[in-house]
Chain A
Amino acid sequence: MAGQITPWPDTVSGYISGHLTRYTVGDEVDGSFTWALHLDTLLVSWALAALGFYTLIKISMRAQSKNPSKLQVACELLLTFFDKQVRDLFPNAPPIVGPLAITIFVWVVLMNSMDVLPVDSITTTGYLATGSVPHFKLLSTADLSLTLALALSVFAMTFYYNIKVKGIGGFLHEVATAPFGAKMAPVNILLRCVEEIAKPLSLSMRLFGNLFAAEIIFLLIASLSFAGGAAFLGQWVFGAPWAIYHILVVPLQAYIFSVLAVVYLAMAHETH
């Protein structure tokens, strides 16, 4: 689907599949996995990270205990909220856990919030600017590559803490014996494998699924008023209620992701 498509195609399926196509760089291969780079995911996530974390750093470096600015108070609210969450879920957490949770939350909230922009924003802007309709998805969290990247990072950390806290021998012993005892070792190992695979998968699939589904609903809403150029106008009006509802989903999904990451890390720290 690379290259140019006609602006606002006549069929709903063409409209939707056009919007689901990513801006990729590199050779496509057959299969559900590819080495081609999703440049739109990367660029949007980097831009939002730069915006969000530059602001955070700037405020934090200028933080003062007396007479704080309103932005600083907002950041402190975020910080103390996650500090409390981490304290409750994971007592004696290593110092990386709190920053990890905040990073996930802030980044994912920023990327998720791209969802409330009208689905044709980039398409129309690109068309007006260059005369062609680009395949560019604003919603980075509807890309499994990104959500799985976050989940796999968390998974790697749980693996690291499992071995750090219990030792390799202790960890393997736990894998073989929990929960049914040494006699049922194969079952235990199988269950543990499923559990360990399920953690990053559920983490990434939950975020991806929510945002992907939301995006498709936005596209369907936009196609309700599908008649030539009217999709762009219609999605402002009909998409608004779904976008307003989505304001709830955006921080909720980010919160679930970051708190589950803390929970998984806490589980890695405790012995069965």
Chain B
Amino acid sequence: MKRLYWLLAVVLLLPASAMAAEGGLKLLSFTTLIGEIITFAILVWVVMKYVWPPLMNAIENRQKEIADGLAAAERGHQELADADQTKATILSEARSKGSDMVADSKQRGDAIIDAARQEAENEKARIIEQGQRDLDAERVAMHRAMEEKLGSLIISGAEQILRREVDTKTHQDIIDSMKKAV
């Protein structure tokens, strides 16, 4: 149907152009036609060489840059998330390590205090023992001194008594043996 329509158009066009020619209307100028064909060819060549490629290049470069930028942003996001993850891990690790350390040091402190207390206890016992020993020694010495003093007092008393009744010299040996016994 379409082809028939065009056939009709071409058949009608010929008498139409003939009628136009009779009216003096110049439909077509061959020189102009050729000139415009050459002009058109030059223009197409110019556009193909100097307009299309650089402009297309710019567009494609920009598309690539935008894609790269978006990819970089995506990567940045990913890296940020990773960093957050790492941060959280490190933080919890540090926290647990810190609490471990606190517990550890507390334990150690307790141990040191215990040891110190034990030592102090020992020292106390030692000092008390020493004191006891000193005290015992002192008591013995004092005892002896008192015995000696008492002995000599008894003797001096006995001497005074005896001086009146007996000669000291004759009973010296008895006194000495008594002294010794004391």
Contact = CB atoms under 8 A, between A and B. Distances in A.
Interface of A: 20, 22, 24, 26, 28, 30-38, 41-42, 45-46, 49, 53, 56-57, 59-61, 63-66, 68, 72, 75-76, 79-80, 83, 95-96, 98-100, 102-103, 107, 143-146, 148-150, 152-153, 191, 194-195, 197-198, 201-202, 205
Interface string B20-49: 110001111111111111011101101110
A101 to B, nearest CB: 10
A194 to B, nearest CB: 5
Given A63-B55, A145-B29, A201-B10, A103 B37 contact: no
A79 B36 contact: no
A255 to B, nearest CB: 17
Given A65-B61, A102-B51, A149-B36, A26 B31 contact: yes
10 contacts: A32-B20, A38-B32, A72-B55, A96-B44, A145-B28, A148-B33, A149-B33, A153-B37, A153-B40, A191-B3
B56 A103 contact: no
A36 B55 contact: no
Contact of A56 (B33, B51, B61, B62): B51
Given A102-B51, A144-B27, 8 more contacts: A53-B46, A65-B57, A107-B43, A149-B32, A149-B34, A149-B39, A153-B41, A194-B10
Interface residues of B, number: 43
A148 B51 contact: no
Dominant secondary structure of chain A at its interface with chain B:
helix
A80 B30 CA distance: 35
B1 interface: no
Contact of B54 (A38, A61, A99): A61
Contacts of A95: 48, 52
A57 to B, nearest CB: 5
A36 B29 CA distance: 6
Contacts of B54: 60-61, 63
A174 B51 CA distance: 37
A10 to B, nearest CB: 21
Residue of A32, A45, A144, A202 contacting most chain B CB atoms (<10 Å) = A32
Nearest to A22: B26
Contact of A102 (B6, B28, B47): B47
Dominant secondary structure of chain B at its interface with chain A:
helix
Contact of A57 (B21, B37, B46): B46
A79 B44 contact: no
A149 B65 CA distance: 42
A103 B40 CA distance: 8
B58 to A, nearest CB: 4
B44 A32 contact: no
Contacts of B59: 65, 76, 79-80
Nearest to B53: A60
- Please name the 5 residue pairs, one residue from A and one from B, whose CB atoms are nearest each other, closest first: A32-B21, A149-B36, A65-B61, A198-B6, A145-B32
Nearest to B41: A153
Contacts of B61: 65
Contact of A53 (B18, B32, B41, B47): B47
Contact of A42 (B9, B30, B35): B35
B10 A146 contact: no
B28 A33 contact: yes
B103 interface: no
B174 to A, nearest CB: 137
Interface string B121-155: 00000000000000000000000000000000000
A68 B18 contact: no
A76 B35 contact: no
B52 A46 contact: no
A195 B138 CA distance: 148
Contacts of A202: 6, 9
A65 B65 contact: yes
B91 interface: no
